[in-house]
C-alpha cells in the first residue's frame, strides 16, 4: 500500500532538505519512492511544500487532497493552509512557530490566532516547540531534522535509518548537529 | 546503481549516458535544472545562452559539425527558438540533436499554458513523452538513436511533474561516441529556396517512415488488465491515471507521440467498449483518434486546463469526490512572494512609485515582476521576455497622439532579459526615434530562476571566468545618447535620475547596478566596485521610532512592526544593510549597526 507524507513550511526553513533525508532513508529501507515539489517563486518568502509517496509500487508523485497520511508543518499557519491534504484519520505534526508574511509584517492584518485549537479540533495533532528546542541546541535551522525525529516516533518509522540518511544528505560539518537534533526530536 | 532523480536530473543523466558532447539552454521553470545538472558532467560542454533561439542555434551548429547536442527550454522558450527549429527540421542532423520542451499544465510559474506537442506536429519532427524519471533518462538515449537513424532533430516533451518530481532511476555507463566527421554538403544544409523545396520532400518521406516506426515501437504499448474499458494516455497523465483507475481499465500508453500510431489506436479503440483519452493541455491525441473516426471520450469529461491529477480523473470518470478536511480561512493569510531583504530592485521601485502619476510602466519577466504586488503596485502590463522596451515604445507612440495624455512610458527589465531579447527591442526604439525611459535592473545574475550566470555575471555555467558584457557600452554603441548607471540603493541618486529622464524629450536608459543578494560568485574587483556589499546591518533606534511605518513602503521583509509597542524593528537574521529603509525614515530612527550615536 502506498503511504503519503506532505511537508509544508516557508521558504528557507529547510522543507525540501528534510524531505530529501526521509526519501534517502526510505530508499535504503527498500521502498519504491516518489517525491514531488513545486518551486520557483516560493523561495522568496512564500509557502513551500514537498510531497513524498512510498510503498511497493508508487504511481502518482502527487498527493491528492484528503489523502495524506501525515502532514508535517514547519510553521503554524502553513499547517492550516495545507490541512485539506490530510486524511481525516491522518496525523498532523506541527512546529509551534509563527513566521510573518508581508501581509502581517506591516501590521495591516494580524497573524491569525487560535490555529492550534482549530487544528486539534479537526484531526489528531502533535504540537512541538521545535524552533525553540533547535535554538537551544545552538542552531535554529536544525528545526527541520528535529521534526523528523518526531515523525519517526509518532508514525512508527523506526525501521528507517535516518542517521545514515543525514550523513548522505547534509553538509559534513553539520552532520553531528543534525543527528543531535534528530534524536532530540524523537524525545519530544 | 539506482538513484532517486528528478525528471530534469534524469534528462541530464541521459545526456551523459548518450555520449552528448554539447548542451545549451536559457533557464526557465520548469526546465532550468536540466542544464544545471548537465553542467556537473565534465565530459559535456554545457553553456547558458542569452536566449532559446541562440541555444538551439548553437546546438544546430554542434550537430552539423558532428557532435551529439541537446537544447533545453521551457514551453514559451520554444516560441523564441521556433525560427531555426523549423528549418533544422528540413536539413536534418549530422551528430544527433535533441530539443527538450518543458510544458506547464496549470501554470505554476508561467505566463501561459501551451501544448508544445503541437510544435512537433507543426515542425514535422518526431516526439517522445516520458512519464517518469526512468523513462526521461531512457528516452534521451533513444532520442539520439532516432535522431541519427531518421536524420532529424527529435523533441522530448516534459511537463512540470515529470521535471520536478523524483522517482527511481537505474544508472548506466556513458556510451563512447566520437563526434562524426563533417563534410561540406551544400544540398543538405544550405536552406536557400531551391534546396528548401527539395528538403520539403525529404521531410514528408521521413514522416512516412516514422508513421511505420510509431506503430512498431514498444514506446507505444498496451497494458492489458483484461478489461472492457480502455484509456489512451501519455506523459505524467499515465501515472495519474494508474493511481486513479488502477487495473480497472486497459491502457494504451503512448511514449512516442509524433507521429501518433494509427494502427495501434485503431485496434485499441475497436477492442474496447469505452475509450477515454487522458492527456494534459490540448486534446492532441483525442483529435487524432476522432479524425480516425473513433468515439473516444476526452474533453467531454475532462477540464480543458490544469493538471489531470488523480482526483481530477476520479471526479471525471468515476464521479468520485474524496472527502477532505476544510481549511479555516480565518486562520490563514496570504504569503505572497516578495523581493528579498536587500534586493537591489527595491530602492528603484520605491522611488519610481512615489507620487508619480504621470507614468505608465511596461513590465517584463523576472524578479522585478514581483513589483506588481504591494506595496509597489508598479506594473501596467507584462507580456513576454524582452517585450518591455518594445511594448513601451508602441504604447508611447499612441499616447503621444492623444492631446489630453502626456504620460511617459517607463519600461523595466533585468540584465538577463536585456541580453535575452531586450537588446533587440531597445535598438528598435532608438532606430525609430522613440522617447521611452528604459530601465535595466542589473543585478548581475539571472535571479528569478535561481541565480544562473549570464553574459553580465562574469562566470560561465561550469564555473569558468567569463568576459562581462558591458551594458552601458552596449547602449552607447546602439546609439543611445542618454545613458546613466546608478546605485539603486542610493535613493537620492535614483530620484534625481528618474527626474532627469522624465525631463528629457528623447529616449533614455537608466542602468541600476548592484548585485543580487543571492549571487554566489564574485570577482575580486566586485568587492571594490560594490563597497561594503552585504557586509553591514541596519537597526531601529526604539526611542526615536514613532511607529509611522513610512519605512514599510520599501516593502522589505526584514522590517517588522510590533503592534503592542507601536514601533518598528529589523530582523537581524535577514537584514543585509542595504540602507534603503534608513533613507526613507523621516525621523532618522534607522541607523547602521556600529554607527549608532
- Dump pLDDT digits (tens) for B485-505: 999 999 999 999 999 999 999
Grid cell digits, residue B201 = 520532400
Dist CA B381 CA B363 (whole Å): 6
Dist CA B367 CA B149 (whole Å): 43
Query: Which residue in chain A is spatially nearest to B551 when comparing CA positions?
Result: A106
Q: Compute the radius of gyration of chain B from its Cα atoms.
A: 27
- pLDDT for B318 equals 93
Other Cβ atoms within 10 Å of B80 Cβ, number: 23
| Residue from B332, B547, B554 to probe the interface with A (highest A Cβ count within 10 Å) | B332
Chain B residue numbers touching A87 (CB-CB < 8 A): 324
* C-alpha distances in Å from residue A168, one per residue of A21, A22, A54, A137, B448: 8, 11, 19, 22, 29
Q: Does the beta-carbon distance from B549 to A106 stay under 8 Å?
A: yes
Grid cell digits, residue B152 = 532529424
Q: Does the beta-carbon distance from A37 to B164 stay under 8 Å?
A: yes
Residues of A (142-161) whose Cβ lies below 8 Å from B: none
Q: Does the beta-carbon distance from A62 to B166 stay under 8 Å?
A: no
Other Cβ atoms within 10 Å of B215 Cβ, number: 18
Q: Which residue has the cell 562524426?
A: B180
- pLDDT for A188 equals 85
Q: Does the beta-carbon distance from A61 to B165 stay under 8 Å?
A: yes
Phi (first) and psi of residue B155, to 5 degrees: -105, 140
- pLDDT for B281 equals 96
Length of chain B: 597
Q: Which residue has the cell 476522432?
A: B290
For B227, what's the count of Cα atoms within 13 Å in the CB-facing half-sphere? 17
Q: What is the mean pLDDT of residues B262-273?
A: 98
Q: Which residue has the cell 542610493?
A: B490
Q: What is the mean pLDDT of residues B515-538?
A: 91
Chain B residue numbers touching A81 (CB-CB < 8 A): 327, 332
Dist CA A174 CA B590 (whole Å): 35
- pLDDT for A41 equals 53
Spatial CA neighbour of A149 closest among A118, A126, A122, A125: A126
* C-alpha distances in Å from residue B89, one per residue of B22, B207, B212, B361: 19, 11, 19, 39
Under 8 Å CB pairs connecting chains A and B tally to 158
Q: What is the mean pLDDT of chain B?
A: 96
Q: Does the beta-carbon distance from A61 to B166 stay under 8 Å?
A: yes
Dist CA B91 CA B93 (whole Å): 7
Q: Check residue B51 and report its DSSP letter.
A: S
Contacts 24+ apart (CB under 8 A), B195-199: B196/B87, B196/B90, B199/B90, B199/B91
- pLDDT for A129 equals 96
Q: Does the beta-carbon distance from B332 to A77 stay under 8 Å?
A: yes
Q: Does the beta-carbon distance from A33 to B167 stay under 8 Å?
A: yes
Please spell the DSSP secondary structure of A124-160, one letter per residue.
EEEEE-HHHHHHHHT-GGGHHHHHHHHHHHHTT-TTS
- Cα-Cα end-to-end distance for chain B: 62
Grid cell digits, residue B140 = 534521451
Chain A residue numbers touching B311 (CB-CB < 8 A): 64-65
* C-alpha distances in Å from residue B340, one per residue of B32, B332, B336, B337, B371: 21, 22, 12, 9, 12
Grid cell digits, residue B316 = 471525471
Chain segment B24-82, per-residue pLDDT in tens: 999 999 999 999 999 999 999 999 999 999 999 999 999 999 999 999 999 999 999 99
Q: Give B87's pLDDT tier (boundaries 50, 70, 90).
A: very high
β-partners of residue B363 are B382
Spatial CA neighbour of B455 closest among B414, B514, B511: B414
Exposed / middle / buried, residue B200 (Cβ in 10 Å: 0-12, 13-18, 19+): exposed
* C-alpha distances in Å from residue B394, one per residue of B356, B450, B477: 21, 32, 23
Grid cell digits, residue B563 = 503592534
- pLDDT for B294 equals 98
Non-local (6+) Cβ contacts of A137 within 8 A are A146, A177, A180, A181, A184
Length of chain A: 188
- For residue B272, the distance in angstroms to the closest alpha carbon of chain A comes to 24
Chain segment B97-120, per-residue pLDDT in tens: 999 999 999 998 899 999 999 999
Spatial CA neighbour of B100 closest among B65, B140, B66: B140
**A58, A109, A122 ranked by CB distance to B325: nearest:** A122
Ranges of residues in chain A whose predicted pLDDT is under 50:
42
The alpha carbon of B319 is separated from its chain's Cα centroid by a whole number of angstroms, namely 36
Strands B408-414 and B359-363 turn out to be parallel
Q: Give B596's pLDDT tier (boundaries 50, 70, 90).
A: low
Model confidence at B597: pLDDT above 70: no
Least confident residue range of B9-18, B108-117, B133-142, B172-181? B108-117
**A24, A39, A103 ranked by CB distance to B333: nearest:** A103
Non-local (6+) Cβ contacts of B153 within 8 A are B63, B85, B88, B89, B92, B93, B97, B98, B99, B125, B147
Chain A residue numbers touching B309 (CB-CB < 8 A): 60, 62, 64
Dist CA A138 CA B415 (whole Å): 40
Chain segment B204-213, per-residue pLDDT in tens: 999 999 999 9
Dist CA A101 CA B492 (whole Å): 29
Q: Give B375's pLDDT tier (boundaries 50, 70, 90).
A: confident
- pLDDT for A44 equals 63
Chain segment B423-467, per-residue pLDDT in tens: 999 999 999 999 999 999 999 999 999 899 999 999 999 999 999
- pLDDT for B563 equals 83
Q: Does the beta-carbon distance from A118 to B331 stay under 8 Å?
A: yes
Q: Is the ipTM of this complex over 0.90?
A: yes
- pLDDT for B182 equals 97
Model confidence at B595: pLDDT above 80: no
Dist CA B441 CA B516 (whole Å): 10
> Percent of chain B beyond pLDDT 70?
100
Is residue B243 helix, strand or coil?
A: helix
Other Cβ atoms within 10 Å of B550 Cβ, number: 15
β-partners of residue A55 are A32
- Cα-Cα end-to-end distance for chain A: 29
Dist CA B503 CA B137 (whole Å): 57
Q: Does the beta-carbon distance from A59 to B166 stay under 8 Å?
A: no
Amino acid at each position: 500500500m502506498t503511504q503519503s507524507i506532505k511537508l509544508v513550511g516557508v521558504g528557507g526553513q529547510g522543507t525540501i532538505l528534510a524531505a530529501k533525508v526521509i526519501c534517502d532513508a526510505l530508499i535504503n529501507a527498500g521502498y519504491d519512492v516518489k517525491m514531488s515539489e513545486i518551486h520557483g517563486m516560493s523561495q522568496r518568502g512564500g509557502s513551500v511544500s514537498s510531497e513524498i509517496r512510498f510503498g511497493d509500487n508508487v504511481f502518482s508523485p502527487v498527493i491528492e487532497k484528503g489523502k495524506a497520511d501525515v502532514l508535517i508543518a514547519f510553521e503554524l499557519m502553513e499547517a492550516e493552509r495545507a490541512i485539506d491534504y490530510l486524511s481525516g484519520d491522518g496525523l498532523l505534526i506541527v512546529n509551534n512557530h509563527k513566521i510573518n508574511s508581508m501581509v502581517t509584517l506591516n501590521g495591516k492584518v494580524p497573524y491569525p490566532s487560535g490555529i492550534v485549537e482549530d487544528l486539534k479540533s479537526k484531526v489528531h495533532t502533535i504540537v512541538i516547540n521545535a524552533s525553540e528546542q533547535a535554538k537551544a541546541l545552538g542552531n535554529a535551522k536544525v528545526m527541520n531534522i528535529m521534526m523528523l525525529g518526531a515523525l519517526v516516533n509518532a508514525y512508527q518509522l523506526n525501521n528507517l535509518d535516518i542517521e545514515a540518511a543525514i550523513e548522505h544528505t547534509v553538509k559534513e560539518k553539520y552532520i553531528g548537529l543534525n543527528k543531535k537534533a534528530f534524536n532530540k526530536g524523537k524525545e519530544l | 546503481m539506482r538513484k532517486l532523480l528528478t525528471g530534469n536530473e534524469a534528462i541530464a543523466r541521459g545526456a551523459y549516458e548518450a555520449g552528448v558532447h554539447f548542451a545549451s539552454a536559457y533557464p526557465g521553470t520548469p526546465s532550468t535544472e536540466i542544464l544545471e545538472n548537465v553542467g556537473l558532467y565534465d565530459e559535456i560542454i554545457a553553456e547558458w545562452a542569452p536566449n532559446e533561439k541562440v541555444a538551439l542555434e548553437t546546438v544546430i551548429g554542434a550537430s552539423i559539425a558532428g557532435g551529439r547536442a541537446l537544447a533545453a527550454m521551457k514551453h514559451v522558450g520554444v516560441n523564441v527558438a521556433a525560427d531555426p527549429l523549423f528549418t533544422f527540421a528540413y536539413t536534418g542532423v549530422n551528430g544527433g540533436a535533441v530539443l527538450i520542451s518543458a510544458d506547464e499544465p496549470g501554470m505554476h510559474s508561467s505566463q501561459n499554458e501551451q501544448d508544445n506537442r503541437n510544435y512537433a506536429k507543426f515542425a514535422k519532427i518526431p516526439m517522445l513523452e516520458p512519464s517518469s524519471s526512468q523513462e526521461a533518462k531512457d528516452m534521451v538515449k533513444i532520442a539520439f538513436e532516432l535522431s541519427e537513424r531518421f536524420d532529424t532533430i527529435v523533441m522530448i516533451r516534459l511537463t512540470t511533474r515529470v521535471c520536478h518530481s523524483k522517482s527511481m532511476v537505474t544508472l548506466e555507463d556513458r556510451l563512447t561516441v566520437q563526434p562524426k566527421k563533417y563534410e561540406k554538403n551544400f544540398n543538405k544544409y544550405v536552406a536557400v529556396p531551391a534546396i528548401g523545396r527539395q528538403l520539403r520532400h525529404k521531410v514528408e518521406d521521413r514522416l512516412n517512415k516514422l508513421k511505420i516506426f510509431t506503430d512498431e515501437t514498444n514506446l507505444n504499448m498496451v497494458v492489458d488488465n483484461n478489461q472492457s474499458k480502455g484509456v489512451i494516455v501519455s506523459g505524467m497523465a499515465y501515472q495519474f491515471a494508474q493511481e486513479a483507475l488502477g487495473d480497472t481499465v486497459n491502457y494504451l500508453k503512448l511514449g512516442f507521440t509524433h507521429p501518433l500510431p494509427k494502427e495501434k489506436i485503431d485496434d485499441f479503440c475497436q477492442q474496447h467498449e469505452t475509450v477515454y483519452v487522458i492527456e494534459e493541455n490540448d486534446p492532441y491525441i483525442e483529435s487524432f483518434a476522432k479524425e480516425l473516426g473513433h468515439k473516444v471520450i476526452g474533453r467531454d469529461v475532462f477540464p480543458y486546463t490544469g493538471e489531470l491529477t488523480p482526483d481530477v480523473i476520479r471526479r471525471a470518470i468515476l464521479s468520485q469526490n474524496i472527502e477532505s478536511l476544510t481549511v479555516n480561512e480565518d486562520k490563514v493569510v496570504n504569503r505572497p512572494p516578495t523581493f528579498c531583504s536587500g534586493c537591489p530592485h527595491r530602492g528603484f521601485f520605491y522611488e519610481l512609485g512615489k507620487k508619480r502619476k504621470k507614468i505608465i510602466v511596461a513590465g517584463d519577466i523576472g524578479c522585478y515582476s514581483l513589483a506588481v504586488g504591494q506595496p509597489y503596485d508598479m506594473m501596467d502590463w507584462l507580456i513576454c521576455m524582452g517585450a518591455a522596451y518594445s511594448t513601451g515604445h508602441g504604447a508611447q507612440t499612441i499616447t503621444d497622439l492623444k492631446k489630453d495624455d502626456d504620460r511617459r512610458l517607463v519600461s523595466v527589465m533585468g540584465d538577463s532579459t536585456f541580453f535575452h531579447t531586450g537588446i533587440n527591442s531597445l535598438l528598435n526604439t532608438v532606430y525609430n526615434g522613440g522617447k521611452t525611459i528604459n530601465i535595466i535592473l542589473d543585478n548581475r545574475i539571472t535571479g528569478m530562476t535561481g541565480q544562473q550566470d549570464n553574459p553580465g555575471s562574469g562566470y560561465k555555467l561550469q564555473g569558468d571566468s567569463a568576459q562581462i558584457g558591458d551594458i552601458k557600452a552596449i547602449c552607447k554603441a546602439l546609439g543611445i545618447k542618454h545613458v546613466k548607471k546608478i546605485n539603486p540603493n542610493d535613493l537620492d541618486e535614483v530620484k534625481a535620475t528618474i527626474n532627469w529622464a522624465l525631463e528629457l524629450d528623447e529616449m533614455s536608459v537608466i542602468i541600476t547596478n548592484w548585485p543580487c543578494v543571492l549571487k554566489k560568485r564574485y570577482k575580486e574587483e566586485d568587492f571594490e566596485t560594490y563597497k561594503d556589499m552585504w557586509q553591514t546591518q541596519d537597526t531601529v533606534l526604539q526611542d526615536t521610532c514613532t511607529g509611522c511605518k513610512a519605512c514599510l513602503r520599501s516593502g522589505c521583509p526584514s522590517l517588522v512592526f510590533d503592534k503592542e509597542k507601536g514601533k518598528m524593528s529589523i530582523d537581524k537574521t535577514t537584514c543585509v544593510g542595504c540602507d534603503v529603509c534608513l533613507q526613507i525614515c523621516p525621523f532618522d530612527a534607522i541607523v547602521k549597526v556600529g554607527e549608532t550615536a
